[in-house]
Amino acid sequence: MSGDDRKLDVLRAIVEDFVATREPVGSRAIVERHHLGVSAATIRNDMAQLEEEGYITHRHTSAGRVPTDRGYRLFVDQIADLKPLSSAERRAIERFLTGAVDLDDMLRRSVRLLAQVTQQAAVVSYPSLSRSSVRHVELVHLAPSRLMIVLITDTGRVEQRAADVPRQVDVDDIAVMRTMLNSALVGVRLSDSTSVVGMLPEAVDRSLRPVMSVLCALLFDALIEPAEDRIVIGGAANLTRNTQDFAHSLGAVLEALEEQVVLLKLVDEAVHPDGVTVSIGEENAAPGLRSTSVVAIGYGTDNRLGGLGVVGPTRMDYAANMAAVLTVARYIGRLLARG
Amino acid sequence: MSGDDRKLDVLRAIVEDFVATREPVGSRAIVERHHLGVSAATIRNDMAQLEEEGYITHRHTSAGRVPTDRGYRLFVDQIADLKPLSSAERRAIERFLTGAVDLDDMLRRSVRLLAQVTQQAAVVSYPSLSRSSVRHVELVHLAPSRLMIVLITDTGRVEQRAADVPRQVDVDDIAVMRTMLNSALVGVRLSDSTSVVGMLPEAVDRSLRPVMSVLCALLFDALIEPAEDRIVIGGAANLTRNTQDFAHSLGAVLEALEEQVVLLKLVDEAVHPDGVTVSIGEENAAPGLRSTSVVAIGYGTDNRLGGLGVVGPTRMDYAANMAAVLTVARYIGRLLARG
DNA sequence: CTTGGCACTCGCCGAGGGTGAGTGCTAGTG
DNA sequence: CACTAGCACTCACCCTCGGCGAGTGCCAAG
């Protein structure tokens, strides 16, 4: 793009009108709806250049122009101010989120909220286990030789696993191990806990060692190693609103949204301190999402604890969605910090 | 229906062919694909009667017949044997479900499984809290005057709630209360625990009474009273496979599926000991589901612990879906019984 | 560099006609 | 009396065709 301001204006006009009306926009329409102070013919010349540079296309010789992924990209990169939410919206968010009774509830509420505000499908990932630290570890006696270990993090996640242990244990054994686990782990980041957990079996009475080994293996395999983080999705129904945008690939989009792995990767990519991330159309790694755009961001300390975002047609209101995503992420971060 | 066997055969043929081909079925097609031993004209007479009785319709004067909701109903009521799943399928189910590490995981796996086997959208509800009994209650110190209470049921559900308490508590206080809560509640059904919980504040030392009251309120409000049970859904993408069946109401269907309340009621209706429940089209209470059929069943003791089911077009393979739902419910029941 | 004018392209829309599947009816048959 | 064969009839579907109009690309002039 050779420094021509008006061409940028024209692109912006095309994107805005197309987003608003869903219809290809012609030179005449631009002259009428935006006062750029030039005639339709001039616009046409600019459009011809924009097309040559790959920012817009023609479906047919004689239909208006439509932005390409590349055009949206340029447009998004130009967005400076994220039209702030209305105060009514902010109040609604606050009211809705602070009513949550626990982490699960809060994340479910967030995802609904985000879906409703943006009118898109929304995704929220749980706070990453590896970046959380241990608040409490609990042992529960299920049967003479079967134990459940419950781990509670500072972000409010509660994870539990059960296993058979190689010998019967009594109440005292459990008390010993519980104390030990807690004194060793409370306050430790899960990502830093590998070595600590490894040492634990050494630290107990010989007779308890096999039992402790099983428990540590459980902790390790289930909670530390795999980083199998969870996500919540909502507002999938909103995708049908724009069904004509992704033609018949709606099925593919829904499948991608149900594929935890794909989504996790997606959200993870937004988990960095630099604010809102936008992936447009073909920029998305997941094949099912090639016809969509994803607006995502991390939340929590350094925006690194977890992520959230919305998925919608490339023809979306980027500025509004970016603002919504940002706002909700901030609220979640604040609520998590408060505990 | 005046006891005419062949008419039933004709209805069955129409349903089967329509389910298989998605196309209205004519008299000629029936003669060719099913050997009923009569001519097309005879079939036509039967069809005219079936139509008069409301079991099938005509879209246009000259297109084949299509079953009505009522026709499906009659057809379903005739189903005696639920074509059992192939042994490969049974093995797959077994393998897939027994790999689960905890309740959440098992239910998520179940729902995926059900969706995959039936090629429909699937729903599984968590084991009802009120029908579960307490396995363990745990108190966790979050801050000097903030506690978290964690409740673990015999079905593996883990629920936690946090609250500020009216005074600071120390480790000993917590130990006392923990012991008390456990001795009072372990083994008690949540639905029977109301009175027990109400008495608890009386039973502790005067100074702890206000604290205990808060905890009991938490237990009561959050866990006993509302029966706010959770559900998991999956395979929504399968709905797009049959998109032409519910025309443009796909959005409505998705919305209904996201509406926890609606779904819960739906699944709850199937929670009785009598086996598989089928709701066809207009029989469904939820408006969004009027164009779908729901095949559901309860699982667990007396089929009363929770429920699961599939949601799809009325044009579905009822026998197969009923079998799948039944089988998965049995596996879940067995796994839960085992702990 | 911009503008007005003009020829041209091509998708969309509605009308019209042919096709064929499937019906309903009626007269005939074991 | 139930079943069958034949036949006229009905419509949805498909294709074609012409008219329309939006929008373009180009050009010559300001």
Best of B147, B160, B174 to disrupt the A interface by mutation (most A CBs within 10 Å)?
Answer: B160
pLDDT per residue over A313-336, tens digit each? 999 999 999 999 999 999 999 998
Q: Are A135 and A186 in contact (CB under 8 A)?
A: yes
pLDDT of residue B89: 86
- Give the CA B48 to C1' D1 distance in Å: 18
At B38, is the secondary structure helix, strand, or coil? coil
- Give the CA A317 to C1' D27 distance in Å: 39
Give the nucleotide with minimal C1' distance to the Cα of B36.
D3
pLDDT of residue B61: 85
At B214, is the secondary structure helix, strand, or coil? helix
At B68, is the secondary structure helix, strand, or coil? coil
Best of A160, A174, A186 to disrupt the B interface by mutation (most B CBs within 10 Å)?
Answer: A160
Q: Which residues pair with A152 in a beta bridge?
A: A136, A158
Report the amino acid identity of residue A53.
E
Least confident of A65-69, A70-74, B303-307: B303-307
Give the chain A residue whose CA is nearest to the CA of B154.
A142
Asked if A2 CB < 7 A from strand D, the reply is no
- Give the CA B151 to C1' D26 distance in Å: 78
What pLDDT band is residue A228 in, cutting at 50, 70 and 90? low
d(CA A306, CA A269): 10
Report the amino acid identity of residue A24.
P
d(CA A56, CA A64): 10
Least confident of A60-64, A219-223, A329-333: A219-223
Give the nucleotide with minimal C1' distance to the Cα of A39.
C3
- Give the CA A26 to C1' C11 distance in Å: 15
A241 contact residues in B (CB cutoff 8 A): 251
Give the nucleotide with minimal C1' distance to the Cα of A23.
D22
d(CA B99, CA A222): 13
The Cα-based distances of B89 to A271, B85, B96, B162, B300 in angstroms read: 40, 6, 10, 43, 21
Considering only residues 44-103 of protein chain B, which place a Cβ less than 7 A from any atom of strand D? 45, 59-63
Q: DSSP letter string over A215-250?
A: HHHHHIIIIISS----EEEE-THHHHHTTTTTTTTH
What pLDDT band is residue A157 in, cutting at 50, 70 and 90? confident
For tokens 């099913």, the residue is: B34
d(CA A254, CA A237): 10
pLDDT of residue A2: 44
pLDDT of residue B1: 46
Give the nucleotide with minimal C1' distance to the Cα of A40.
C3
DSSP state of A261: H
State how far Cα B296 lies from the chain centre: 5
Whether B258 sits inside 8 A of A236 (CB atoms) is yes
Asked if B47 CB < 7 A from strand C, the reply is yes
What pLDDT band is residue A160 in, cutting at 50, 70 and 90? confident
- Is the per-residue pLDDT at A271 higher than 60? yes
pLDDT of residue A3: 44
B153 contact residues in A (CB cutoff 8 A): none
Give the nucleotide with minimal C1' distance to the Cα of A62.
D23
Asked if A60 CB < 7 A from strand D, the reply is no
At A181, is the secondary structure helix, strand, or coil? helix
End-to-end Cα, chain B, rounded Å: 49
A140 contact residues in B (CB cutoff 8 A): 135-136, 138, 152
Cβ-based neighbours of A205, under 8 Å, separated by 6 or more: A176
- Give the CA B14 to C1' C22 distance in Å: 14
Q: Where is A152: in which H helix or E strand?
A: strand A146-153
Give the gap in angstroms from C-alpha B14 to the nearest C-alpha of chain A: 29
Q: Which residue has the higher pLDDT, A243 or A266?
A: A266
Query: How, if at all, do strands B277-280 and B292-299 pair?
Result: antiparallel
Q: Is B259 in CB contact (< 8 Å) with chain A? A: no
- Give the CA B49 to C1' D14 distance in Å: 33
Nearest CB partner across the interface for A160, out of B102, B146, B222: B102
What pLDDT band is residue A193 in, cutting at 50, 70 and 90? confident
Per-residue pLDDT of chain B (339 residues; tens, 9 = 90+): 444 789 999 999 999 999 999 999 999 999 988 988 888 999 999 999 999 999 999 888 888 999 999 999 999 999 877 778 888 888 988 899 988 888 888 999 999 999 999 999 999 999 988 888 998 898 988 888 899 898 888 888 888 888 899 999 998 999 899 999 999 999 999 888 888 888 888 888 899 999 999 999 988 876 665 556 789 999 999 998 887 777 668 889 999 999 888 888 888 899 998 889 999 999 999 999 999 999 999 999 889 999 999 999 999 999 999 999 999 999 999 999 876
A142 contact residues in B (CB cutoff 8 A): 135, 339
Give the chain A residue whose CA is nearest to the CA of B254.
A237
pTM: 0.90
Report the amino acid identity of residue A302.
D
Which residues in chain A (230-249) have CB-CB distances under 8 A to chain B? 234-237, 239-241, 243
- Selection from B322, B321, B302, B338 nearest residue B128 by Cα: B302
Nearest CB partner across the interface for A236, out of B140, B161, B236: B236
Q: Are A262 and A294 in contact (CB under 8 A)?
A: no
| CA angle centred on B81, ends B75 and B83, rounded to 5° | 100
Asked if B2 CB < 7 A from strand D, the reply is no
Nearest CB partner across the interface for A241, out of B148, B156, B251: B251
Average pLDDT over residues A47-75: 93
- Is the per-residue pLDDT at A339 higher than 70? no
pLDDT of residue A191: 84
Give the chain B residue whose CA is nearest to the CA of A255.
B237
State how far Cα B212 lies from the chain centre: 37
Give the gap in angstroms from C-alpha B30 to the nearest C-alpha of chain A: 33
